Each structure stands twice: as C-alpha cells, then as structure tokens.
C-alpha cells in the first residue's frame, strides 16, 4: 500500500489497515480521521501524537492485540488480528531452547499477575534470551513505570508496522 491508496481508501479499508498496526480503537479512529496525509513523516508524527494523548484504557486495549511472547497457543489465537503486518516479529522465539521458553512463559505469567497486562516488547531482531533478559529487568518496576515502558514498546511496534504498511 502506498500513501495515495491509504488516503483514498474507504473508512473501512483504512480502519483495517491501521488496525494491523495497533489495536487501540481510539488510535485507529484518530489515524483514519487524520487523513489525508501529506507524506510518510506526517503519518508517523500523527501516530505518535495520537498515542501520547491516549488514556491507560487505550494502551491496554492495544496491548491486548499482542500475543504473549513464547506462548504458542496465544500466538495462534491473537495473531489473527495483526498477522498481515506482524509476521516474523517474534520469529526468534522459534529458535529458543526449551529452558528459555519455559522461563519466558513463567516470566510472562509473573508479569501479567503483577501488572495486569502482558509483557510488551518490540521483538524484532531480538532473540528469546534477549527478550527474557528484558522481561527480567522490567519485572521489578512499579506499574506506572511499566505502563510507560510498554507504551513506548508499542510505539516502536506500530512505527515498524506503519513502515511495512
């Protein structure tokens, strides 16, 4: 898809395209309403501006659109929403040792229990061991800090997906 097609797409088509990048309905609605975009940079700027002005509930909605890293069942169920642009983002998990996967699953469960949302990390280019180290480093945080960390990781993810779009 190019910028011209995105700008001239129907509301439904544009909604579908932006939903591939981020599953926050408030973010998607604002991105659709922000059309037409003059250039790539204006899309990226709008995406970040909208994201910065959302509420916690909107962030949590976006996080729910992600599978848990290392959880194959969740990957299958949740990847359906974003699979067009998200393919390959967690491919490094496929090469992980069994112990790293077990530790990721345990860490994700601990993270979810502590914060009430799944561990979000921009997984592109990271091995499972690297993601496990990041998860372990972030687990001691308080919820406010971790919400900010997760929101920043979500921004990285939607920016990568916007580039693919």
Which residues are known catalytic residues? 66
Return d(Cα 161, Cα 124) in angstroms, integer: 11
- The length of the chain, given as a count of residues: 165
Count Cβ neighbours within 10 Å for each residue of 66-84 and write b for 16 or more, e otherwise.
bbbbbbeeebeebbeebeb
Nearest Cα to 69, choosing from 103, 99, 93, 102?
93
Q: Indicate the DSSP class of residue 36.
A: S
């Amino acid at each position: 898809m190019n910028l011209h097609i995105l700008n001239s797409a129907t509301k439904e088509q544009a909604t579908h395209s932006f939903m591939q990048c981020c599953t926050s309905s408030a973010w998607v609605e604002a991105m659709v309403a922000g059309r037409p975009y003059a250039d790539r940079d204006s899309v990226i700027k709008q995406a970040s501006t909208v994201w910065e002005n959302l509420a916690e509930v909107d962030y949590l909605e976006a996080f729910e659109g992600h599978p848990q890293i290392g959880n194959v069942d969740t990957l299958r169920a949740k990847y359906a929403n974003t699979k067009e642009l998200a393919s390959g983002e967690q491919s490094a998990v496929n090469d992980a040792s069994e112990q790293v996967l077990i530790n990721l699953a345990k860490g994700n469960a601990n993270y979810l229990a502590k914060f009430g949302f799944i561990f979000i990390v921009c997984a592109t280019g990271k091995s499972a061991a690297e993601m496990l180290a990041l998860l372990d480093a972030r687990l001691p945080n308080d919820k406010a800090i971790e919400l900010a960390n997760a929101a920043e990781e979500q921004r990285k993810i939607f920016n990568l997906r916007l580039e693919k779009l």
